[in-house]
Amino acid sequence: MSTRVQIEYPSRGETYNHPDEYGVYEYSTYPASSVLAGQERRVWLDSYTTLEEAQEQYPDAEVTTSCYHPPYLGHLPDDSDY
């Protein structure tokens, strides 16, 4: 399973938006044992107030704008399926 690390600006996700921070995230794929199997997995690692600080800690990370998008859950049953 390959992973990559990205520094994203602004730092944002489903329940937060920090327009003054650079978020560092690791991207991989959910394993077969997960209900999200095969989908992209995004894990927050850290945040920084400047790009320079983030790059010092994660020199190999790609710098990009925020790439957050919610996971696709349409394949899961809803209440009417029970």
Domain ranges across the chain: 4-81
Split at pLDDT 50, 70, 90, the class of 82 is: low
What pTM was computed for the model?
0.82
* Amino acid identity at 30: Y
Say if residue 81's pLDDT is above 60: no
pLDDT of residue 28: 96
Question: Residue 58 burial (CB < 10 Å; 0-12/13-18/19+)?
Answer: buried
